[in-house]
Amino acid sequence: MRAWMRTGLFGLGLAAAAGSGWVLRGRDVAPTPPAALAPDRPTSPPPIDAERIQSGRLTVERMPAEITQALETHSTELVHTTELLEAKQQRISGTCAPGSAIRVVGEDGSVVCQRLPRGVVSVSALSGVPRTSGVATAQGSVPGGVGRYQTAGEDDFLVVPIALPDGAIVTGFTYLYWDADPKIDGAAYLYRSDDTMMAEVSTQGAREEVRAVQTEKIDARKVDDTGFAYVVFMQTSAKAGANLVPIAATVSYRLP
């Protein structure tokens, strides 16, 4: 009985020793050395929530190094791009009047003009409108040119404004046309807005080709844009139709 009790008590002692971290070696019991303490570590920051990302309050220090380096690189490129844009030549916004050409272009797109001693100004019949409202016209394409011809109404004229350089001296007037009608000839006139006829030319004969007729006989030769406007009249005919096609007119000039 006593032997059993000693054995039982000893077993209970082993169990208790094991639960308390003691190791029994025979009758000697030694404590288990404590676990090594973990080195100090910085406390991890709170997780990044969606609200901080959307509001833009996420600090750079919280981002990975790869992202911060990429941001710095892109920032440098943006600064460089801005510098290039500031130094870029602006689109040309200035214009020069007829009879002059662009001499200098400024960084802001403005221009400095220089008048030419001689030049020409041309207008197309495509931009002309009939003198009479009841006249109908259509675009006409012929070998070597594109113009406008009359399709209905009484014989009329196409009216085309022309911009001439102020102070210029008109030296010639040229008319480009297609006339393949054997019975009807055409004509063109240069007029000033006070109803002064400055030049006239006419077509002769019928040929299926683009031809030009010109004159150097000019009245009221000096251009005065402050008091007048200038216009070209090109004759059309519904009877001739597409056989009489005005194409263009050209005014040559020189500067005094």
Domain-wise residue ranges, the chain: 86-116, 118-254
The neighbouring-strand residues paired with 119 are 253
Check: CB of residue 163 under 8 Å from CB of residue 100: no
CATH topology of domain 118-254: Jelly Rolls (2.60.120)
pLDDT at 21: 47
Q: Name the token pair of 77.
A: 């490129």
pLDDT at 22: 46
Helical residues (DSSP H) of the chain, grouped into ranges? 2-19, 50-55, 65-87
Q: What is the DSSP string of 114-145?
A: EE-SEEEEEEEGGG-EESSTT-EEEEEEETTE
**Is the pTM for the entire model greater than 0.85?**
no
pLDDT at 101: 76
pLDDT at 54: 59
pLDDT string in tens for the chain (256-residue length): 445 445 444 454 444 444 444 444 445 555 555 555 555 555 666 666 666 655 655 555 556 666 667 766 767 777 777 766 666 666 777 888 766 778 788 877 788 887 777 899 999 999 999 999 999 999 999 999 999 999 999 999 999 999 999 999 999 999 999 999 999 999 999 999 999 999 999 999 999 999 999 999 999 999 999 999 999 999 999 999 999 999 999 999 998 8
Cα angle 212-200-139, degrees, rounded to a multiple of 5: 55
Q: Name the token pair of 217.
A: 């006989």
Distance of CA 97 to the CA centre of its chain: 24
Spell 137-153 as b/e; 16+ CB within 10 A means b: beebebeebebbbbeeb
pLDDT at 26: 47
Check: CB of residue 135 under 8 Å from CB of residue 156: yes
